Structure 1
Amino acid sequence: MSNRTLISIVDDDEPYRDSMRKLILLFGYTVEVYASAADFLGSRHLTDTACLVADVHMPGMTGVELHRHLVDAGYAIPTILVTAYPDEVVREQALKDGVVCCLSKPVDDDYLEQCLRSALQPGTPIEDNS
């Protein structure tokens, strides 16, 4: 992947958002970060985003709601959801709705990298890490 491939991170937890930004930069991607779904939706990078990494639980619009909103609006942005509060029902529904991966915080670096590759190159296998 080119280092110009843009990954957008939406998470209301600033320290986590910053650490995720640094990690994804180490993978070689360009990264933009947002504190809320509204910030992302209003950004100039919405249409440039190759993959979205969003927190499930955020004030306002959740990561699940953000993914559904993007799909309904016609934006086919591969999405990876992360959460500190894993819920199997939410996970299963999100995967049925087309989310690439659902990860528990703290995320496994290697698994995140696999999920990003799969999001950016559909058909790339992901080892089950649940």
Structure 2
Amino acid sequence: MVNRTLISIVDDDQPYRESMRKLIMLLGYAVEAFPSAADFLASHVLHETACLVTDVNMPGMTGVELHRYLLDAGHAIPTILVTAYPDEVVRDQALKDGVVCYLSKPVDDDYLERCLRSALQPGTPIEDNS
């Protein structure tokens, strides 16, 4: 049986967005991918999204800003942040704000899978991978 749980990806880097889309599909999830926060927010899948995987550093609205916007708008979508430029201050604040995981690119496939499971089943422990 195919898992129809929808994971949305927001990343301005098209090759990375596409590779992340393929990886998450291989893990058995339905996936929608967007080049910007604005495109995601304007999409028909916003309310169907079970988990959001978003880049931290994007033009326009960053992944951190997108997470905060969604919370403020009443859309508490479990969020996984991904970045090529890890920053401990941003990481610590994002985790305090309720982000499920803060991952560095390139993402470890197994750790991403654990983060997705934790996002979709709150209370599932994630072994720290930092």
Aligned positions of 1:73-88 closer than 5 A:
73-88=73-88
Provide the residue aligned with 1:24 in structure 2: 24
CA shift for structure 1 position 98: 0.3
CA shift for structure 1 position 110: 0.2
For 1:25 and 1:45, the matched residues in 2 are separated by 16
Provide the residue aligned with 1:114 in structure 2: 114
**2:30 corresponds to which letter in structure 1?**
T
Matched pairs, number = 130
Provide the residue aligned with 2:39 in structure 1: 39
For 2:125 and 2:111, the matched residues in 1 are separated by 11
Provide the residue aligned with 2:125 in structure 1: 125
With normalisation by structure 2, the TM-score equals 0.99
User: Which residues of structure 1 form unaligned runs of 5+?
Assistant: none
Secondary structure at 1:47 match in 2: helix
Identity of aligned residues (%): 83
Misfit runs of 4+, over 3 Å:
none
CA shift for structure 1 position 76: 1.1
**2:25 corresponds to which letter in structure 1?**
L
What whole-Å deviation, never above 9, does each CA across 1:9-48 have from its counterpart, x for those lacking one? 0000000000000000000000000000000000000000
For 2:106 and 2:55, the matched residues in 1 are separated by 12
For 1:3 and 1:118, the matched residues in 2 are separated by 16
User: Which residues of structure 2 form unaligned runs of 5+?
Assistant: none
With normalisation by structure 1, the TM-score equals 0.99
Aligned positions of 1:25-104 closer than 5 A:
25-104=25-104
